């Protein structure tokens, strides 16, 4: 939150292009961030890290401890994409992306769902004034904790267990941050807890009780509760009802894909993995995957990665520069690009990056 944000100059950013189209979209974000820093008069330095499927296939390494330690010395991380069809599912996701989120204790996954003017949504009769909310997803617990195992694996009697964990500390720090964020956002001042208390009667009861307790300290914030299934329905039927949602890791993962599609698709959806504590290192990423079929074709949309760059500025004390970039992005999506879908933008990946630089003025 702003109180703990110290402006860093030079701003030192670690860049993990990662897999597939990750490096291409991140290159555009880097280009645009350089342009913003020149116009706003601050220094920004980028250091590339060779992590992802290529390195794993070459050396067997996913995230060596020394690389992790080196990453901790940066102010922020910009990540492209993780996932390589040549590597079994889960290896890179768990070994790189989730390990970074956990080791850096990035306990907030912030995902804005905002329909920019001129961008097409699949929701009939909904426009930018209707689709403008933010999901605060807990990012370190739940089914993602990786707790479980097999018994009698590979036999007809096999048992598999995958346990969701929820801690008081984990849900409270996320919920508290969501209240602070709702206050700072200063729109509807309305925070909705999304969970499944009618079935997950232990873990989500802990979430609900914590939410209700913390809410007492924020009398200026209106609150509500939605079951996650109902939330999916409201996101489609009445997205204008939402301002800020706070939710658990697994449900946050699912509803933010729904959010991404109603805001115009994976080409525009970005997220921030935040460690808001003093000295915390946060990581910013486009939400789309590595899109192997578009790799190297210049057809992938870099807007999400560029938006992740804007979030990087916003959460590292460069609020004004961030706003300038958000404006430039909206000029390009609203008045230049034909579509936000890969291959249909009317421009190449690099041209979209150039357009955003121009729109910075």
The residues that touch ligand IPM, with contacts defined as CB under 6 A, are: 93, 97-98, 253
Order the strands of the 132-138 sheet from edge to edge. 44-49, 11-18, 76-81, 282-286, 270-274, 108-114, 132-138, 244-247, 190-195, 222-227
Of residues 264 and 317, the one with the C-beta less far from Mn ion: 264
Between helices 22-40 and 319-335, what is the axis angle to 10°?
120
Let me know the angle formed at the C-alpha of 253 by 251 and 258, rounded to the nearest 5 degrees: 95
In angstroms, the CA 282 to CA 275 distance is: 5
From 84, 253, 294, 326, the catalytic residue = 253
CB 64 → ligand IPM: shortest distance, Å? Answer: 20
Q: Which whole-number Å values give the CA distances from 359 to 35, 142, 195, 305, in the listed order?
A: 11, 41, 40, 17
Structure tokens at 220: 């200026």
Applying CB under 5 A, does 285 fall inside the site for Mn ion? Answer: no
Of residues 98 and 244, the one with the C-beta less far from Mn ion: 98
From 196, 294, 326, 347, the catalytic residue = 196
Of 33, 52, 124, 65, give the one whose Cα is nearest residue 328: 33
For the beta carbon of residue 186, count every other beta carbon within 10 angstroms. 9
In angstroms, the CA 321 to CA 226 distance is: 35
**Residue 119 contacts residue 269 (beta carbons within 8 Å):** no
Applying CB under 5 A, does 253 fall inside the site for Mn ion? Answer: yes
CB 253 → Mn ion: shortest distance, Å? Answer: 4
From 56, 107, 116, 144, the catalytic residue = 144
Of residues 33 and 195, the one with the C-beta less far from Mn ion: 195
Span from 28-36, 76-84, 225-233, 248-256 in contact with Mn ion (CB under 5 A)? 248-256
CB 146 → ligand IPM: shortest distance, Å? Answer: 11
Among ligand IPM, Mn ion, none, the one that 231 touches (CB under a kind-dependent 5 to 8 A) is: none
Residue 216 falls in the annotated catalytic set: no
Of 176, 230, 228, give the one whose Cα is nearest residue 203: 228
Residue 196 falls in the annotated catalytic set: yes
Number of residues that bind Mn ion (CB under 5 A): 1
316: phi then psi, degrees, rounded to nearest 5: -125, 25
CB 253 → ligand IPM: shortest distance, Å? Answer: 4
The CB-nearest residue to ligand IPM is 93
CB 339 → ligand IPM: shortest distance, Å? Answer: 23
Residue 144 falls in the annotated catalytic set: yes
Of residues 253 and 314, the one with the C-beta less far from Mn ion: 253
From 50, 205, 224, 229, the catalytic residue = 229
Q: Which whole-number Å values give the CA distances from 2 to 37, 181, 183, 215, in the listed order?
A: 20, 10, 12, 20
Of residues 25 and 356, the one with the C-beta less far from Mn ion: 25
Catalytically active residues, by annotation: 144, 196, 229, 253, 257
Query: What residues line the site for Mn ion (CB under 5 A)?
Result: 253
């Amino acid at each position: 939150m702003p109180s703990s944000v110290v402006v860093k100059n030079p701003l030192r950013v670690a860049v993990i292009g990662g897999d597939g189209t990750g490096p291409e979209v991140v290159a555009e974000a880097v280009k645009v961030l350089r342009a913003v820093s020149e116009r706003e008069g601050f220094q920004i330095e980028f250091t590339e890290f060779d992590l992802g499927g290529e390195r794993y296939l070459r050396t067997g390494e996913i995230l060596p401890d020394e690389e992790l330690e080196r990453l901790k010395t940066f102010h922020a991380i910009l990540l492209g994409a993780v996932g390589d069809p040549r590597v079994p599912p889960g290896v890179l996701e768990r070994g790189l992306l989730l390990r970074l989120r956990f080791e850096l204790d990035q306990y907030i996954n912030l995902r804005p769902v905002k329909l920019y003017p001129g961008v097409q949504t699949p929701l009939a009769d909904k426009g930018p004034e209707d689709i403008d909310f933010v999901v605060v997803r807990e990012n370190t617990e739940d089914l993602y904790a990786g707790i479980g195992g097999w018994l009698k694996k590979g036999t007809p009697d096999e048992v598999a267990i995958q346990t969701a964990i929820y801690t008081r500390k984990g849900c409270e720090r996320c919920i508290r941050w969501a209240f602070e964020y709702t206050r700072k956002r200063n729109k509807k001042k309305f925070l909705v807890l999304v969970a499944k208390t009618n079935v997950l009667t232990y873990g989500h009861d802990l979430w609900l009780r914590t939410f209700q307790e913390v809410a007492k300290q924020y009398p200026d914030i209106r609150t509500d509760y939605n079951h996650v299934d109902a939330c999916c329905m409201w996101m489609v039927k009445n997205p204008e009802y939402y301002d800020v949602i706070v939710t658990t890791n697994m449900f946050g993962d699912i509803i933010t894909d729904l959010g991404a599609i109603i805001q115009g698709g994976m080409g525009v959806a970005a997220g921030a993995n935040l460690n808001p504590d003093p000295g915390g290192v946060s990581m910013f990423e486009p939400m789309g995957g590595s899109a192997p079929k578009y790799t190297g074709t210049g057809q992938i949309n870099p807007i999400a990665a560029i938006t992740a760059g804007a979030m990087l500025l916003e959460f590292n004390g460069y609020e004004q520069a961030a706003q300038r970039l958000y404006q430039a992005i909206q000029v390009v999506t609203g008045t230049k690009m034909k579509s936000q879908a890969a291959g249909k933008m009317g421009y190449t990946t690099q041209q979209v990056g150039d357009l955003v630089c121009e729109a910075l003025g």
